Amino acid sequence: MTTSNDEKWIDKKISRRDMLKLTGVGVAGVAVGASGFGGVMKAMGYNIFEPVADSTTAKHKVDFYGKHQTGIITPVQTNIYFASLDVLVTSQKELQQLFQQWTPLMVRLMNGEQMVEMTTNTRVPPGDTGEAKGLDAAHLSLTIGAGPSLFDKLGMQHVKPAELKDLPHFPKDQLQQEWTGGDLCIQACADDPQVAFHAVRNLVRAASGKVAIKWSQAGFNAFPAEGGTPRNLFAFKDGTVNPAITDEQDLHKTVWVDKGWLKNGSYLIARKIQMHLETWDRTSLKDQEATFGRYRDSGAPLGKENEFDDFDIEAKDDKGDYIIPDTSHVHLARKSDARMLRRSYSYASGVLSNTGAHDAGLLFISFQKDPAQFIAVQNSLGRMDKMNEYITHRGSAVFACFPGVQKGSYVGEALFNAL
Amino acid sequence: MTTSNDEKWIDKKISRRDMLKLTGVGVAGVAVGASGFGGVMKAMGYNIFEPVADSTTAKHKVDFYGKHQTGIITPVQTNIYFASLDVLVTSQKELQQLFQQWTPLMVRLMNGEQMVEMTTNTRVPPGDTGEAKGLDAAHLSLTIGAGPSLFDKLGMQHVKPAELKDLPHFPKDQLQQEWTGGDLCIQACADDPQVAFHAVRNLVRAASGKVAIKWSQAGFNAFPAEGGTPRNLFAFKDGTVNPAITDEQDLHKTVWVDKGWLKNGSYLIARKIQMHLETWDRTSLKDQEATFGRYRDSGAPLGKENEFDDFDIEAKDDKGDYIIPDTSHVHLARKSDARMLRRSYSYASGVLSNTGAHDAGLLFISFQKDPAQFIAVQNSLGRMDKMNEYITHRGSAVFACFPGVQKGSYVGEALFNAL
């Protein structure tokens, strides 16, 4: 250690004190005003507010700018880190500033770049937590959404879409507060778990004192080497009936909001669904298939040959029984006549300490034009769904995901323009 | 549903009852005796005890058979699913049968094959839980170890190696029972999280009634596109001073046991280390680097240029201060003069519900010829280690990992021969 005593004191002061506390406090003798992390970072020699462009050279990169946010019709990645946030800001202005601050950082993250140009000053905390150094962009997508509680907290009820409200209680719900709700969400998906986690960690860090994580969940998808639909932990293919991400017409009917400030945005519904793997694994293949209404191996609807074969839930066999049982997931879901874009990830988080059973399941995520679509399906599944025997819904949240960002604009600008 | 009432009854009976309860009970009219899962599976039309060979055609395959178990000097994969198990068997014979049962299943899993040839009988639970269908072997490695408690439980104290005992309490330990100890371990590592989880799930399922998961932990490593040492969640390169996995002489000195029934095996130490990311992220780069004794960016020891440069912890600067501070992790670890093979994985398991802080850290795993090597390092780190401010050890376990398996033999045979 070759630092002088003065330098040591500065080191200590910066390293030990909460970034939150630093807000508005002189750092290394520089007054930073009330501009929060940005100001502190600037005082420390970082420059974070330059406008940032999509990289044209980065490897495995998803473009940030566009009509829609990424992470909705972006091809599904292998990993997710999903964070539901409480806001600590108390004014619309501060929220706006937060989104303005996040926007260039999101571009940088998706470019696979460090959050900030590194300063050569080692006496301050690094501007980027650094664990993604040397990794490429890994198809990182970032999706920001606003929950119903955000509008109530910040006096924005008059611009809260009528569709944006907490989901109704469904018959078999056993929701836990620790996995439910949230003022904001960050959905980070990437082909590397460390890249996804790094993005959430750094956006939350940059918003220190403005947001706090309420709950978060990591998840994964495993893609067959030959391509095709990934299997969930019940070994069934998940996402077969999704609208094609290239079918603009269908997406406009199913996914994209077409009015108000949320136009070209979408509603995200997240459900943490525990899957009782031990019970499932004691169930006959026949019963498993009758539960889904599909064959496990091929993913074809019962009575059909191939995964994507069309099917008629009313079709009956010689004996007058439904070929796709009327208690099956597929039968009941189709019966609702509602569709959505599912983009779910499995999780395996160890064992439940009380039973020793796997703490595993599905972080179900769907995007829809209107949460009513999800509600219709869930109501149709209701108490009838044979799947209920094998799963328990533990968490739930709904977010209005902003439209995409044009260069020069920022995440959520349409909302603030509507205020 | 076209099944007769009889068939429905059979479905129900098999699907609802615990596999454990089925042991010794006639299934579908076949008496299965006391051979457990194997017998039940056979009665159901599965054949699981044929000897299995390493595949010569599987993609991304690690060979099962060899002098050492896999997952020790196997190149580190991107994902781990680590399970610590309690044994429920009460005799050495049953334990031996379990290992005999597991061996061909492990080969099949590592071949990227289903656990069993699928029967066409859909009235029984599938022999493989199926979520890895369509995925390749993903470099799956499987490492089985025995904890000290196993020998006490099953009257095998006379063959328990003197080195195999619970680790001593270290000054800063805050171990929780729910992450500590275990009679057996399965370390499953693969380049796909679903392949690793599938392996543990199916081995545990095949041993239903014989083992129960005590604790388990998923983890990940992110490899730089250009190659090189992966970074942990503090953004420092982790594993730089490992012995080269090709240096047989060094491995024999450091990793492989050379006596008794554990010859060519190794001791695995697992530590669940919580990393206080928020505190770390408020620390200056200089302090972070003084904590590790290395530069974050390059991984070089302080005062050196490159990651793998040799260093002298006694070297001092002009002012007489240690160049690598004597409170740094590197300084103290090197001072112990003990080495080991580290094979750790990061974890990010959401947030701690009491504080909202990241529940993240390192599943530290090391292999050594003698746990004394780890103990020496840990004692040297002791209360001095500057890292203590940023980490808390929450879990701990030690396992004697059996030597490798020759074709025709089974995991742990040397132990049973020694009884």
Q: How far apart are the C-alpha atoms of A286 and A73, rounded to whole Å?
A: 34
A202 and A101 assigned to the same domain: yes
Mean predicted confidence (pLDDT) in A166-177: 95
Mean predicted confidence (pLDDT) in A224-251: 93
Q: For residue B154, which amino acid is it?
A: L
Chain A residues 250-289 with a CB less than 8 Å from chain B: 277-278, 281-289
Mean predicted confidence (pLDDT) in B74-83: 97
Compare B239 and A108 and report the one with higher pLDDT: A108
> Can you tell me the ipTM of this complex?
0.90
- The answer, yes or no, to whether residue A197 has pLDDT greater than 50, is yes
- pLDDT value, residue A305: 97
Chain A nearest C-alpha distance from B70 (Å): 23
Q: Of B9, B13, B57, B197, which to mutate for an interface test with A (greatest number of A Cβ within 10 Å)?
A: B197
A103 and A216 assigned to the same domain: yes
Strand partners, B271: B364, B396
Of A130, A218, A220, the CB nearest to B296: A130
User: Which tens digits make up the pLDDT trace of B176-199?
Assistant: 999 999 999 999 999 999 999 999
Interface contact flag, A235 B126, Cβ < 8 Å: yes
- The answer, yes or no, to whether residue A50 has pLDDT greater than 70, is no
Contact of B325 with chain A, judged by CB distance below 8 Å, is answered with yes
Core vs surface per residue A370-392: b (16+ CB within 10 A) or e? bbebbbbbbebbeebbbbbebbe
Please give the interface size between A and B, counted as residue pairs whose CB atoms are below 8 Å apart: 211
- The answer, yes or no, to whether residue A173 has pLDDT greater than 90, is yes
A140 and A279 assigned to the same domain: no
- The answer, yes or no, to whether residue A372 has pLDDT greater than 60, is yes
Q: Residue A225: how many CA atoms within 13 Å on its side-chain side?
A: 14
Q: How far apart are the C-alpha atoms of A396 and A380, rounded to whole Å?
A: 18
Query: Is-contact B286 A123, C-beta < 8 A?
Result: yes
B329 and B409 assigned to the same domain: no
Of B15, B277, B360, the CB nearest to A283: B15
Chain A nearest C-alpha distance from B123 (Å): 5
- Counting every residue written for chain B, the total comes to 419
The token duo for B335 is 């001072």
Q: How far apart are the C-alpha atoms of B305 and B299, rounded to whole Å?
A: 9
Compare A351 and A382 and report the one with higher pLDDT: A351
Q: How far apart are the C-alpha atoms of A215 and A238, rounded to whole Å?
A: 24
Of A11, A59, A222, the CB nearest to B287: A11
Maximum C-alpha span of chain B: 90
Q: How far apart are the C-alpha atoms of A324 and A293, rounded to whole Å?
A: 5
B335 backbone dihedrals φ, ψ, rounded to 5°: -60, -30
- The answer as to whether B207 is a domain residue is yes
Of B194, B220, B284, the CB nearest to A123: B284
Chain B nearest C-alpha distance from A213 (Å): 6
- The answer as to whether B229 is a domain residue is yes
Of B1, B234, B348, the CB nearest to A290: B1
- The answer as to whether A8 is a domain residue is no
Element (H, E) at B304: none
The token duo for B373 is 């090597």
- pLDDT value, residue A383: 85
Per-residue confidence band for B3, with pLDDT thresholds at 50, 70 and 90: very low
Chain B nearest C-alpha distance from A235 (Å): 4
> Over chain B, what is the mean pLDDT?
89
- The answer as to whether B75 is a domain residue is yes
Lowest mean pLDDT among A117-121, A221-225, A337-341, B285-289: A117-121
Mean predicted confidence (pLDDT) in A406-413: 96
- The answer, yes or no, to whether residue A49 has pLDDT greater than 60, is no
Report how far apart, in Å, the C-alpha atoms of B308 and of each of B72, B243, B358 are: 22, 12, 31
Residue of chain A whose Cα is closest to the Cα of B220: A193
- The answer as to whether B23 is a domain residue is no
B68 backbone dihedrals φ, ψ, rounded to 5°: -125, 155
Per-residue confidence band for A24, with pLDDT thresholds at 50, 70 and 90: very low
Chain A nearest C-alpha distance from B308 (Å): 17
Chain B residues 9-38 with a CB less than 8 Å from chain A: 11, 14-19
User: Percent of chain A beyond pLDDT 90?
Assistant: 80
Q: For residue B131, which amino acid is it?
A: E
Per-residue confidence band for A33, with pLDDT thresholds at 50, 70 and 90: very low
Interface contact flag, B124 A218, Cβ < 8 Å: no
Query: Is-contact B219 B346, C-beta < 8 A?
Result: yes
Residue of chain A whose Cα is closest to the Cα of B352: A215
User: Percent of chain B beyond pLDDT 90?
Assistant: 80
Contact of A315 with chain B, judged by CB distance below 8 Å, is answered with no
Q: For residue B390, which amino acid is it?
A: Y
- The answer as to whether B42 is a domain residue is no
Contact of A384 with chain B, judged by CB distance below 8 Å, is answered with no
Q: How far apart are the C-alpha atoms of A33 and A40, rounded to whole Å?
A: 9
B254 and B322 assigned to the same domain: no
Mean predicted confidence (pLDDT) in A266-286: 97
- The answer as to whether B293 is a domain residue is yes
Q: Of A16, A214, A285, which to mutate for an interface test with B (greatest number of B Cβ within 10 Å)?
A: A285
Query: Is-contact A302 A309, C-beta < 8 A?
Result: no
The torsion defined by the Cα of B300, B304, B305 and B308, in degrees rounded to 10, comes to -50
B201 and B310 assigned to the same domain: no
Q: How far apart are the C-alpha atoms of A227 and A246, rounded to whole Å?
A: 17
Mean predicted confidence (pLDDT) in B118-132: 88
Q: Residue A177: how many CA atoms within 13 Å on its side-chain side?
A: 2
Give the 3-state DSSP-derived string for chain A, with helices as H, strands as E and coil as C.
CCCCHHHHHHHHHHHHCCHHHHCCCCECCECCCCCHHHHHHHHCCCCCCCCCCCCCCCCCCCCCCCCECCCCCCCCCCEEEEEEEEECCCCHHHHHHHHHHHHHHHHHHHCCCCCCCCCCCCCCCCCCCCCCCCCCCCCCEEEEEECHHHHHHCCCHHHCCCCCCCCCCCCCCCCCHHHECCCEEEEEEECCHHHHHHHHHHHHHHCECCEEEEEEEEEECCCCCCCCCCECCCCCECCCCCCCCCCHHHHHHHCCCCCHHHCCCEEEEEEEEEECHHHHCCCCHHHHHHHHCECCCCCCECCCCCCCCCCCCCCECCCCCECCCCCCHHHHHHHCCCCCEECCEEEEEEECCCCCCEEEEEEEEEEECCHHHHHHHHHHHCCCCHHHHCEEEEEEEEEEECECCCCCCCCCHHHHHHC
B280 and B318 assigned to the same domain: yes
- pLDDT value, residue A353: 84
- Which residues in chain B have their CB less than 8 angstroms from residue A349's CB? 218, 349-350
Residue of chain A whose Cα is closest to the Cα of B80: A348
- The answer, yes or no, to whether residue A143 has pLDDT greater than 70, is yes
Q: How far apart are the C-alpha atoms of B281 and B285, rounded to whole Å?
A: 9
- Which residues in chain A have their CB less than 8 angstroms from residue B201's CB? 277, 281, 358
A149 and A247 assigned to the same domain: yes
A292 and A387 assigned to the same domain: yes
Mean predicted confidence (pLDDT) in A226-251: 94
Q: How far apart are the C-alpha atoms of B219 and B270, rounded to whole Å?
A: 12
Per-residue confidence band for A12, with pLDDT thresholds at 50, 70 and 90: very low
A39 backbone dihedrals φ, ψ, rounded to 5°: -65, -45
Per-residue confidence band for B33, with pLDDT thresholds at 50, 70 and 90: very low
Residues whose CB is less than 8 angstroms from the CB of residue B401 and which lie 6 or more positions away in sequence, other chains included:
B69, B72, B143, B144, B145, B185, B265, B266, B267, B268, B367
User: Which tens digits make up the pLDDT trace of B255-273?
Assistant: 999 999 999 999 999 999 9
Compare A51 and A228 and report the one with higher pLDDT: A228
- The answer, yes or no, to whether residue B16 has pLDDT greater than 50, is no
- The answer, yes or no, to whether residue B301 has pLDDT greater than 70, is yes
Lowest mean pLDDT among A144-158, A180-194, A225-239, A261-275: A225-239
Residues whose CB is less than 8 angstroms from the CB of residue B114 and which lie 6 or more positions away in sequence, other chains included:
B108, B127, B128, B130, B133
Contact of B320 with chain A, judged by CB distance below 8 Å, is answered with no
- The answer, yes or no, to whether residue A3 has pLDDT greater than 70, is no
- pLDDT value, residue B15: 35
- pLDDT value, residue B11: 33
Interface contact flag, A81 B233, Cβ < 8 Å: no
- Which residues in chain A have their CB less than 8 angstroms from residue B321's CB? 1-2
Strand partners, A68: A403
- pLDDT value, residue A196: 98
Q: Of A37, A122, A186, which to mutate for an interface test with B (greatest number of B Cβ within 10 Å)?
A: A122
- pLDDT value, residue B354: 85
B220 and B251 assigned to the same domain: yes
Mean predicted confidence (pLDDT) in B285-289: 97
Query: Is-contact B32 B25, C-beta < 8 A?
Result: yes
Lowest mean pLDDT among A17-26, A128-137, A227-236: A17-26
- The answer, yes or no, to whether residue B39 has pLDDT greater than 70, is no
CATH code assigned at B151: 3.30.70.100
Chain B residues 165-224 with a CB less than 8 Å from chain A: 178, 192-195, 197, 201, 205, 212-218, 220-222, 224
Query: Is-contact A256 A377, C-beta < 8 A?
Result: no
Contact of B135 with chain A, judged by CB distance below 8 Å, is answered with yes
Q: How many domains does chain B have?
A: 2
- pLDDT value, residue B17: 37
User: Which tens digits make up the pLDDT trace of B346-382?
Assistant: 999 999 988 899 999 999 999 999 999 999 999 999 8
Strand partners, B208: B211
Q: How far apart are the C-alpha atoms of A80 and B354, rounded to whole Å?
A: 23
SS3 B397: strand
User: Which tens digits make up the pLDDT trace of A86-105?
Assistant: 999 999 999 999 999 999 99
Q: Of B282, B321, B331, B354, which to mutate for an interface test with A (greatest number of A Cβ within 10 Å)?
A: B282
Q: How far apart are the C-alpha atoms of A282 and B12, rounded to whole Å?
A: 10
Q: Of B7, B8, B14, B15, which to mutate for an interface test with A (greatest number of A Cβ within 10 Å)?
A: B15
Interface contact flag, A281 B125, Cβ < 8 Å: yes
User: Which tens digits make up the pLDDT trace of B318-331?
Assistant: 999 999 999 999 99
User: Which tens digits make up the pLDDT trace of A296-332?
Assistant: 999 999 999 999 999 999 999 999 999 999 999 999 9
- pLDDT value, residue A41: 63
- The answer as to whether A365 is a domain residue is yes
Residue of chain B whose Cα is closest to the Cα of A232: B131
Of A193, A224, A290, the CB nearest to B134: A224
A161 and A261 assigned to the same domain: yes
- Which residues in chain A have their CB less than 8 angstroms from residue B231's CB? 130-131, 133-134, 194
A59 and A153 assigned to the same domain: yes
Report how far apart, in Å, the C-alpha atoms of A370 and of each of A378, A405, B60 are: 14, 21, 44
Residue of chain A whose Cα is closest to the Cα of B350: A216
Q: Which range marks the domain in which residue A188 is found?
A: 48-167+181-265+403-418
- Which residues in chain B have their CB less than 8 angstroms from residue A176's CB? none
- Which residues in chain B have their CB less than 8 angstroms from residue A356's CB? 212-214
DSSP state of B198: H
> Over chain A, what is the mean pLDDT?
89
The torsion defined by the Cα of A123, A124, A126 and A129, in degrees rounded to 10, comes to 120
Contact of A233 with chain B, judged by CB distance below 8 Å, is answered with yes
- Element counts in chain B: helices (H) and strands (E): 12, 9
- pLDDT value, residue A48: 56
Interface contact flag, A131 B3, Cβ < 8 Å: no
